[in-house]
Structure 1
Amino acid sequence: MSQEEMVKEAVEEAKKAAGEAAQEEVPEPAESKKEAEEAAEEMLGEAEELDGTQEENQDSEEEQEPKKKKFFEKKPKKDKKDEKIEELTDKLTRQMAEFDNYRKRTEKEKSAMYEIGAKDVVEKILAVVDNFERGLQSVPEEEKDAPFMQGMDKIYKQLMTTLEEIGVKPIEAVGQEFNPDFHNAVMHVEDEGFGENIVAEEFQKGYTYRDSVVRHSMVKVAN
C-alpha cells in the first residue's frame, strides 16, 4: 500500500470515528466538522507533495548514476607507438627551443666581441688622427698651398670620411653645454663671453663609435 493510500485510509477512519462520536455524544458544531475536514485535506496534500518529492529525488539519482559510472570508468590506454611519438615530438620541440636560444646568445656574444674589438681599433687610429691634425696645424700659411701639403690634406679628409662611414664621429664641444657623458673638464675659467657651464675650449677631440663614446673630449669649461 502506498503512502498516499495509507493517508487516505487514515482520513476516512478519522471522519468515520468523528461521525460516530457525534451520534453517541453531543452533536458537534458545523464549524468544528468543517475544520476537521480541512485539516484532513491539508494532510492529504502534504502527503501527495512528499510522495512527489521522493519520486523526483529517485529520478535525480537515476540520472546521476551514469555520470558516476562514467567518472570512475578507466580511460583507455594509449598505444605504445603513440606514446613514443609524443615523447619524441616533445623532445624535438625542446631541442629546437634550446638551439634557438643558443643561436641568439651566440649572435649577441659575437656582436659584443665585434663592438669591443672595433672600439679598440678605432681608439688606436684616433692617435694617428691626432698626429695628422697637429702636423697640418703646424704648417705655415704660405706653405699650405704647396702640392705636398695639398696631398696630405686630401689624405686626412679621406681618412676622416672613412671613419665616419664605419660609424666614428667627432663629439661637438666648443660652444656646447658641458655634458659629463661626452666631455671631460680639465680646466675652468671665468669668461663673460660664454654662458654658464659652456665649453670654452677643446684640448683634445672626443669621438663616438655607433652611439657609444670611444674617447671623451678634453675641454675647458667657462664659469
Structure 2
Amino acid sequence: MVKDKKKHSEEKIENVDTEETTSAETVSEKSLDEKELNKIKEEREASKEEEYKNKIDELNDKLMRQMAEFDNFRKRTEKEKSQMYDLGAKGIVEKILPIIDNFERGLGSLSEEEREGAFAKGIDKVYKQLMQCLADVGVTPIEAVGKEFNPEIHNAVMHGEDENLGENTVAEEMQKGYMYKESVVRPSMVKVVN
C-alpha cells in the first residue's frame, strides 16, 4: 500500500510536471504570439506611416506644380494683355500719323509772313501739343537724314549718288517714320546714296 501510495504520488507529480510544462509552453507560445502580433502591428503602422508620408509628398508635389502652373499662367496673361494694349495703341498711332503728315505739309507750305499770323501760330501749337502727347505715350520719330540706311526702320524709295555723303547713307526723307516704344509703326521713306 505504501508502494501504491508512492507510485500514485509519483504519477501525480509527473502529471503536475506535465501540466506545468504544457502551461509554460502555452504561456511561452502566447508571449511569442503577442510579440509577433506586436511586431506585425508595428510593421503595419510603419507601412501606413510610409504610405501617408508618400501621399503627403505626392500632394505637396502636385500643389507645387499647380502653383508654378498658375504663376506661369498669370505671367503669360499679363504679357498677352500688355501685347494687346501695345497692339491697340500701335493701331491708333497708325491712324493718327496721316493727320500729323497733313499738319506738317500745311505748316511747311506757309510763307514767313503767313507763319506770323494768329491762325498759323494756333495750328503750330496744336501740332506741337499732338506731338508731345504722342511722345508721352512712347511714339518717337525715326532719325533718318545723315544716318546709315537700316532696312528695319527705313524704306528706300530712291537711290542716288553723292560724293559728300558716305556709302549707304540716307540723303533725304520723303515721309517721316515713327516708332512706338521698340517697334516700328511706319518706316521712313528715304533716298539712299552710296
**TM-score computed with the length of structure 1 as normaliser:** 0.62
Q: Are residues 194 and 82 of structure 1, via their aligned partners in 2, closer, same or farther at CA, if it must alter by over 3 Å?
A: closer
CA distance in 1, matches of 2:168, 2:61: 63
Dislocated runs of 4+, deviation >3 Å: 79-91
2:93 to 95, 107, 122: 122
Partner of 1:180: 151
Partner of 1:221: 192
**TM-score computed with the length of structure 2 as normaliser:** 0.70
The gaps in structure 2 that reach 5 residues or longer are 1-42
- Deviation of the 1:191 alpha carbon: 2.1
CA distance in 2, matches of 1:222, 1:87: 68
Partner of 1:95: 66
- Deviation of the 1:91 alpha carbon: 3.2
Provide the aligned C-alpha RMSD in A. Answer: 2.0
Partner of 1:192: 163
- How many residues get paired? 150
Q: Are residues 179 and 84 of structure 1, via their aligned partners in 2, closer, same or farther at CA, if it must alter by over 3 Å?
A: closer
CA distance in 2, matches of 1:209, 1:177: 21
Partner of 1:65: none
- Name the SS for the 2:146 alignment partner: coil
2:128 to 147, 157, 165: 157
Partner of 2:79: 108
Partner of 2:48: 78
Report the AA paired with residue 172 of structure 1. E
- Deviation of the 1:181 alpha carbon: 1.6
Q: Are residues 96 and 147 of structure 1, via their aligned partners in 2, closer, same or farther at CA, if it must alter by over 3 Å?
A: same
Identity of aligned residues (%): 66
The question of 1:201 aligning with 2:167 is answered no
Larger radius of gyration, structure 1 or 2?
1
CA distance in 2, matches of 1:85, 1:222: 72
- Deviation of the 1:82 alpha carbon: 5.3
The gaps in structure 1 that reach 5 residues or longer are 1-73
Residue deviations 1:24-61 (CA, integer Å, cap 9, x gap)? xxxxxxxxxxxxxxxxxxxxxxxxxxxxxxxxxxxxxx
Q: Which structure has more RCO (C-alpha within 8 Å, separation ≥ 6)?
A: 2
CA distance in 2, matches of 1:174, 1:81: 74
CA distance in 2, matches of 1:83, 1:222: 73
- Name the SS for the 2:47 alignment partner: coil
